[in-house]
Amino acid sequence: MNLTLKIWRQQNSNDKGKMVDYQISDVSGDMSFLEMLDVLNEDLISKDETPVAFDHDCREGICGMCSLHINGEPHGPDRGITTCQLHMRSFKDGDTIYIEPFRAKAFPIIKDLVVDRSAFDRIQQSGAYVSVNTSGNTQDANSIPVPKEDADMAFDAATCIGCGACVAACKNSSAMLFVSAKVSQFALLPQGKVEAKKRVQDMVHQMDEEGFGNCSNTGACEAECPKGISLENIARMNRELISAKAAVKH
């Protein structure tokens, strides 16, 4: 199929950037979206033009590295997948495809479609861990009883790959779905409960510091999340924070 691509080109973080049109032909429906961009880049390189910079790593939907806002939605029009799992058969011959970076103040553009998502790392570092002494006498995790339902919910929350689609989809660039998944995966387990009050406060504080917007409960994040992280996690985080703030006087 032949396609028109409208791609955001920006040389560096200081450049203003603009949409640039590209024509691409002989695209196979069996190509992944990233493979289609690889073909475009080979063509650009052969013409001595600068290839389009985009993030990618595992290309099998588990690393959370690929991003891209495709035709107005993060990871494109299909549900429950990352951009590397999106195939060109989802498009038609003659289509025009808008390809933009994930946009948020907290995700500054490095180049073209590559954004700096280290805000997520800093949120993780602010509390998404369990402080356990690992000097050799650590208790076997399996010896702590965990209700199956809690384990399942914690596991579901832990499947978040931190890709940032929730931020990209949200009209407010809110990171609530990501942060709530990370808060939940610990809050639901006995090992995480010990530090739960401090954790949720620190992570929400860091989230606010990074410049993400508020949650308007539109549900766009849940709909676009490649891992199907549920809004229930956001409600849980709200509960956790409200009760933690009510209980702890700083």
Partner 1 sequence: MSKSGLFKSSIGRKFAMALSALFLMIFLLQHLVINITAVISPDTFNELSHFMGTNPLVQFFAQPILIFAVVFHFVMGFILEIRNRTARPVSYNKFNGSANSTWMSRNMIISGLVILAFLVLHFIDFWFPEINTKYIVGDTSGLHHGEYRYYPELLAKFANPARVIAYIVAFVLLALHLMHGFGSAFQSMGQNNKYIDGLKKFGVIYSIAVPLGFILIAVVLYVTTLN
Binding site for partner 1 (CB under 8 A): 6, 8, 17, 19, 69, 71-73, 77, 98, 100, 103-106, 169, 171-174, 176, 198, 201-202, 204-205, 207-208, 211-220, 223-224, 231-232, 234-242, 245-246, 250
C-alpha span between 65 and 71 (Å, rounded): 19
C-alpha span between 182 and 207 (Å, rounded): 12
Check: CB of residue 104 under 8 Å from CB of residue 212: yes
C-alpha span between 74 and 103 (Å, rounded): 10
The pair of three-digit structure tokens given for residue 247, joined into one six-digit string: 């209980």
Nearer to partner 1, 47 or 171 (CB): 171
Nearer to partner 1, 37 or 104 (CB): 104
Secondary element (H or E) of residue 110 = strand 109-111
| Shortest distance (Å) from residue 140 CB to partner 1 | 31
Helix, strand, coil shares, percent, the chain, to 5: 40, 15, 50
| Shortest distance (Å) from residue 5 CB to partner 1 | 12
Nearer to partner 1, 47 or 250 (CB): 250
Strand order in the sheet with 96-100: 18-24, 3-9, 96-100, 69-70, 73-74
| Shortest distance (Å) from residue 28 CB to partner 1 | 24
Nearer to partner 1, 37 or 167 (CB): 167
| Shortest distance (Å) from residue 22 CB to partner 1 | 15
Nearer to partner 1, 17 or 51 (CB): 17
| Shortest distance (Å) from residue 234 CB to partner 1 | 7
